[in-house]
Amino acid sequence: MSLSVAACAAVFGGAAAAFLPRVAHRLAVPRGTPARSACAHCAEPIPDWVRAGAACTCTGRPLWIVTTGALATGLLGAALGPSPLLLVLLPATVLGLLLAVIDVQCLRLPDLLVAALAAGTVLPLTVGALLAGEPGRLGRAVVVAVGGGTAYLILALLPGRGLGLGDVKLATVLGFVLGFAGWPAAVAGLVAPHLINGPVAVVLLLGRRANRRTALPLGPALLAGAVIGLAVG
């Protein structure tokens, strides 16, 4: 474990995450709706995109977002150390956290952000594997991506499953990254989301905050599972 790399990664993740609340609030709108230009709570205009801190003066400080960003990137820094893979994963983790926040707020994973996540991970990892002469690593990544994406697509097509195509696309991208990291990371990263979402659903049902027909966001669990898989794999 490299404590210095973990600390630097955590600082990066926490600092970058501080800028996410406003972006997430503006993008957390129904599909086909323009980005929000005013606060959904107090109707105060939101003229800009880039600002650290709360999405609006009427909302609380985003401490949980900053903490989550720092923990996720710090965990990856501790597990991977000073590696090229970490350089790819740090900005990808921040983008993934943005997707998770949006999914929690409006049950949607914007295609543009998922595409950006794919461009920021699949492309550099593919080029890196080819330059390093590791076609086997690249092939494993493709196998996991196709297999995981297909499995989630089948689940999404089943009636009453509550999965969207955004979940399928995100699972495919994350599958590539997990497969690139190795089979242990792939297995852990694909299993962990269900171990996370299951207990959450049970708690919400027992607390009568949801019923069997309530749609729950899967994106946060997929992303958290990927971080866990990469850390333990």
> How high is the mean pLDDT in each 10-residue block of the chain (233 residues)?
89 96 94 89 86 85 92 96 94 97 93 97 95 92 96 86 86 97 95 84 60 74 96 88
pLDDT (0 to 100) of residue 16: 97
110's tokens = 């914007």
Quick one: CA torsion of 42, 48, 52, 58, rounded to 10 degrees? Answer: -10
- C-alpha dihedral sign at 169, 216, 19, 7: negative
pLDDT (0 to 100) of residue 217: 85
Question: Domain limits at 88?
Answer: 3-232
Cβ pair 17, 68 in contact under 8 A: yes
Cβ pair 19, 66 in contact under 8 A: no
Name the residue among 25, 51, 54, 19 with its Cα closest to residue 38: 25
Which of 62-75 are b and which e, b meaning 16 or more Cβ less than 10 Å from the residue's Cβ? beebbebbbebbbb
Cβ pair 167, 158 in contact under 8 A: no
Alpha carbon 49 to its chain centroid, in Å, reads 20
Number of domains in the chain: 1
Its pTM stands at 0.93
**Phi-psi sector, 115: left (phi>0), alpha (psi -120 to 50), beta:** alpha
pLDDT (0 to 100) of residue 61: 78
Ordered DSSP codes for 104-170: HHHS---HHHHHHHHHHHHHHHHHHHHHTT-HHHHHHHHHHHHHHHHHHHHHHHSTT----HHHHHH
Q: Is residue 84 helix, strand or coil?
A: helix
pLDDT (0 to 100) of residue 1: 62
From residue 135, alpha-carbon distances to 125, 129, 131 in Å are 11, 6, 9
pLDDT (0 to 100) of residue 216: 74
7's tokens = 């600390």
Q: Is residue 214 helix, strand or coil?
A: coil
Which of 76-88 are b and which e, b meaning 16 or more Cβ less than 10 Å from the residue's Cβ? bbbbbeeeebbeb
